[in-house]
Amino acid sequence: MKYDSIIIGMGVAGIAAAIYAKRAGNNVLLLEKERPGGILNIIDNIENYPGFKKISGPDLSLQMFEQINELKIPYKIEEVIDITIQDDLKIVKTKKETYQCNNILIATGRSPILLGLPKEEELIGKGISTCALCDGTLYKNKNVAVVGGGNSALQEALYLSKIVKKIYLIHRREEFRAEKELIEKIKSSENIEIIYNSQITNYIEENGILTGIEINEAKELKIDGLFIYIGYAPKTDFAKKLNITNPAGYIEVDKNYETNVPGIYAAGDIIIKKVYQIITAASEGATAAIRFSRKN
């Protein structure tokens, strides 16, 4: 099947691009591996997106998805595994089908980075989580730790503080990189204890369930759950052979969000940039779509 444009990823950037492309008369297809919303699905509270004084990530995601449905933009839940180029035509291969198009927008976002310690993978869902919004209630009135010092770690620690008994917020340095307002809220929170200059060096488990963590190869801390918020890695494995990514997997784009391969665009958290925010992802998706819609 041939489309004017295919947008890979139904996060904020992909959805914004689809809205602009469709309204410009493009025959557009959205492809998504899991579910619409991307990283929005694991954000508890958004207070910096204009038009919404306060909204949860899943609620914002739902509203964006409704807009896609109202505009009758076709989408498929299929994982893209390869992109090839035949003259001006782009071939997008998913696990189920092969599609052709003139332009592609890659907006696949990022997934959480883990600490890389032994037994980590096995303990995911058994004491280790990367989503406070999804798993927080499992730890009602229990003791948990959050690791990280950015906006995500602090924001999610604040969310958890309303559910759990006590939080140890573990950061490897002496200063947080999160916004000042968040740091102040964390410092005035009664059930959050900040542990600076510390790294988790081992997981302690009993019968496959996390029971504690070792800190700085010395101290042991008993906890029921650990939430990891140490940043995200771009999801661009399927695009590696196009030579559009840097060694870390982020895509390089020009001011129109086009890569060095004509007709292949990228937007949102997978591109190399300074600001990773919902509002910038929306703007980048829209800018790319305006550009490629005019070409079709």
Tell me the HSE value of 134 on the side-chain side, using a 13 A CA sphere.
12
Distances (CA, A) of 163 to 57, 144, 192, 249: 18, 10, 12, 36
Nearest approach, Cβ of residue 189 and ligand NAP (Å): 17
Nearest approach, Cβ of residue 73 and ligand NAP (Å): 27
Nearer to ligand NAP, 21 or 228 (CB): 228
Q: Is 131 noted as a catalytic residue in this protein?
A: yes
Using CB under 6 A as the binding rule, whether residue 152 contacts ligand NAP is answered as: yes
Residues 6+ apart with CB under 8 A from 117: 200, 201, 202, 203
Using CB under 6 A as the binding rule, whether residue 20 contacts ligand NAP is answered as: no
Selected range binding ligand NAP among 8-16, 73-81, 91-99, 145-153, rule: CB under 6 A: 145-153
Nearer to ligand NAP, 116 or 206 (CB): 116
Nearer to ligand NAP, 28 or 153 (CB): 153
Q: C-alpha angle 158/164/167, rounded to 5°? A: 60
Nearest approach, Cβ of residue 41 and ligand NAP (Å): 13
Q: Which of 150, 163, 211, 249 binds ligand NAP (CB under 6 A)?
A: 150
Distances (CA, A) of 123 to 42, 117, 120, 141: 19, 11, 5, 21
DSSP 3-state of 111:
strand
Q: Which residues bind ligand NAP (CB under 6 A)?
A: 48, 115, 147-153, 155, 172-173, 177, 199, 229-232, 276-277
